[in-house]
Amino acid sequence: MDFSDTKEEAVFRTEVKNWIGKEAPTYLFKSLSASGFGSTRTGEYDPFEEAKKWQKKKADAGWACIQWPKEFGGRGAGPMDGVIWSQEEGIYSKLSGTFIIGQGMCAPTMMAYATPEQNQRYIPKIASGEEVWCQLFSEPASGSDLAGLKTRAEKDGDEWVINGQKIWTSGAHISDYGILITRTDSEVPKHRGLTMFFLDMKSAGVDIRPIKQANGDSGFNEVYFDNVRIPDAQRLGEVGGGWQVSLTTLMNERLAIGGSIATGFPEIKALVDDLTIAGGRAIDNPAVRSKLADWYAKSAGLKNTSARALTALSKGEVPGPENSIGKLVAGGMMQDIAKFGLDLQGLGGAIVDPAIADGAARLQAMLLRSPAVRIEGGTDQILRNIIAERVLGLPEELRVDKGIAFNKIPSSNS
């Protein structure tokens, strides 16, 4: 057991450090430092432009998506080097949020199912951030029950014609491409009638309408499909094999979200270090210390759990469903931390103006954004089901739709 860098790792770290020291957008350092979960700040600069600029710069020098093969714009690096890179990139990695879906979920799905020519064309541009991708899975009537989706794809010659609606599509409004799961057969049980595609988001008949979120931002969208035509060559996997393909995406989603997840611990620690309550330092208050210890133990537990997963990965083992715990623990924890941090400040804690609020209003932003963590990419309840069934081996829930043809299943609208 050893936590120090090996010799090769140390050499690699120095190389990364040197490059980042020279090339990172230091003019954003101050704003990014004041950024918290749910509030990426770039000061007077446009966040999307800055994100693209940094990504392209990394890609040109071979530092984008370093674990991908070289021919796809990566560096062919191992998982440990990936961790070293992200440790050293540090605060500048806050710029990469825009690309998580494309790089973390769409690209791995493409690499598993698209043709070599297609991958040659698309993957390097995902790495460089020149093209942004989105994930068109959830629908108004099917989120947790993803396999209950209704968006239809009908074959017409060498093309498929798409009609229906997706919702909650993060970044659809800034995306160039997307992966789309559709229903191609309603006569068979729900998991068997699905087919996956990728498509150009500028295709005729795609209508994207931003949704205003509970925290006031507009990161996700409704996407309508009105006779949108997709060439059969852009199908991923078999006709009727879409569920299998989606599992690749979802497994990577949990890795992408779970690996480097924010927990809110640094924010609450910074607050109680400085804050005064009842005439004393907040951090000296026993109730505060008790909570702090609990949260530290949890965030350390997540960090150490992913270090174990990495060790397993670097020995060639496949990461399993146990990686579901990251988001499950962090989501609720961030909500608790934000609430507790505001509570310590009394009514003044309600202020969201970063110029006035403590810590540039990071806890307030966290309060308003964290509820979504418990929903996006699998709700807390779905994750617990997964742990219970797939890790602990407990019996499946009763499913009334099991084995029934999709068009015979009762639904909210019928």
Partner 1 sequence: MNFDFSQDEKMIRDQVSKFLDQQSDTKVMRSAVDGDTRYSADVWKGLVDMGLTGTAIPAAYGGVGVGYPALCLIAEQLGAHLTPTPFSSSVYLATEAIIGFGTEAQKETWLPKLANGEIIGTIAIVETVEEVTETSIQASITGDTLTGRKLIVPDGGIADFAVVIAKSPGTMANSSLSLCIADLQHESVTRTPIETIDPSKNSTTIDFQQTPIEILGDQVDGWSAVRRIYDRAAILFAFEQIGGAQSALDMAVEYAKERFAFGRPIGSFQGLKHMMADMYVALKLAESNCYYAAWALATESEELPLAAATARVSATQAFQLCSRDNIQVHGGMGFTWEFDCHLYYRRSNYLTLQLGGLATWEDKLVSSLPDAA
- Known catalytic residues? 253
CB of 386 to partner 1, least distance (A): 8
Tokens found for residue 250: 């979802």
Closest CA relative to residue 55, chosen from 73, 78, 31 = 73
297 interface partner picked from partner 1, ligand FAD, none, CB below 5 to 8 A per type: partner 1
64 interface partner picked from ligand FAD, partner 1, none, CB below 5 to 8 A per type: none
On whether the CB atoms of residues 145 and 137 are closer than 8 A, the answer is: no
286 contacts partner 1 (rule: CB under 8 A): yes
Q: Residues touching ligand FAD: how many (CB under 6 A)?
A: 19
d(CA 134, CA 326): 22
Work out which of 26, 87, 381, 411 binds ligand FAD, going by CB under 6 A: 381
d(CA 398, CA 385): 12
Sign of CA dihedral 236, 240, 244, 247: positive
Residue number of the CB closest to ligand FAD reads: 143
The β-bridge relationship of strands 206-210 and 159-170 is unpaired
Tokens found for residue 54: 């940094």
296 contacts partner 1 (rule: CB under 8 A): yes
204 interface partner picked from partner 1, ligand FAD, none, CB below 5 to 8 A per type: none
d(CA 160, CA 44): 44
281 alpha carbon, distance to own chain's centre: 37
d(CA 140, CA 134): 17
Work out which of 174, 375, 386, 387 binds ligand FAD, going by CB under 6 A: 375
The 323-362 contact track toward partner 1, x by CB under 8 A, reads: --x--xx---------------------------------
375 contacts partner 1 (rule: CB under 8 A): no
Angle of CA points 384, 389, 392, to nearest 5° = 95
The piece of 57-65, 86-94, 296-304, 368-376 that touches ligand FAD (CB under 6 A) is 368-376
d(CA 246, CA 76): 25
CB contact set of 43 (below 8 Å; sequence gap of 6+): 28, 30, 31
d(CA 145, CA 138): 9
144 contacts ligand FAD (rule: CB under 6 A): yes
The piece of 49-57, 129-137, 201-209, 347-355 that touches ligand FAD (CB under 6 A) is 129-137
On whether the CB atoms of residues 103 and 127 are closer than 8 A, the answer is: yes
CB of 144 to ligand FAD, least distance (A): 3
14 contacts partner 1 (rule: CB under 8 A): no
243 contacts ligand FAD (rule: CB under 6 A): no
What residues make contact with ligand FAD under the rule CB under 6 A? Answer: 101, 134-135, 137-138, 143-144, 168-170, 220, 372, 375-377, 379, 381-382, 385
What residues make contact with partner 1 under the rule CB under 8 A? Answer: 1-6, 9, 80, 83, 265-266, 269, 273, 283, 286, 289-290, 292-294, 296-298, 300-305, 307-308, 310-312, 315, 322, 325, 328-329, 381, 383-385, 387-389, 391-398
